[in-house]
Amino acid sequence: MGKEITKQEFIYTEVSKLFPNAKCELNYYQDYELLIAIMLSAQTTDISVNKVTETLFAKYHSIKDFAQADISDLEQDIKSIGLFRNKSKNLKKMAEIVVEDHNSKIPNTQEELEQLPGVGRKTANVFLAEYYHIPRIAVDTHVSRVSKRLGLVSDNDNPTKIEEKLKKLYDESVWISLHHKFIFFGRYFCKAKKPNCKECPVKKYCKKPCL
Domain ranges of the chain: 7-19+137-205, 31-131
pLDDT at residue 82 in the model = 86
Judge whether residue 2 has pLDDT over 70: no
Candidates 122, 171, 181, 203; catalytic one: 122
What are 101-127's pLDDT values in tens digits?
999 999 999 999 999 999 999 999 999
Judge whether residue 158 has pLDDT over 80: yes
> 104-130 burial, b if ≥16 CB within 10 A, otherwise e?
eebbeeeebbeebebbebbbbbbbbbb
Quick check: is 140 catalytic?
A: yes
pLDDT at residue 209 in the model = 67
What are 66-80's pLDDT values in tens digits?
999 999 999 999 999
The number of angstroms, rounded, from the C-alpha of 190 to the middle of its chain's C-alpha atoms is: 17
7-19+137-205 and 31-131 have identical folds: no
Question: Helix H segments across the chain?
Answer: 7-18, 31-40, 46-59, 63-68, 71-77, 84-101, 110-114, 121-131, 141-149, 159-169, 175-188
Summary mean pLDDT of the chain: 95
Judge whether residue 211 has pLDDT over 50: no
Fold topology of 7-19+137-205 = Endonuclease Iii, domain 2 (1.10.1670)
Quick check: is 46 catalytic?
A: no
Identify the CATH assignment for 31-131 out of 3.40.190.10, 1.10.340.30, 1.10.443.10, 1.10.8.60. Answer: 1.10.340.30
Candidates 31, 140, 194, 203; catalytic one: 140
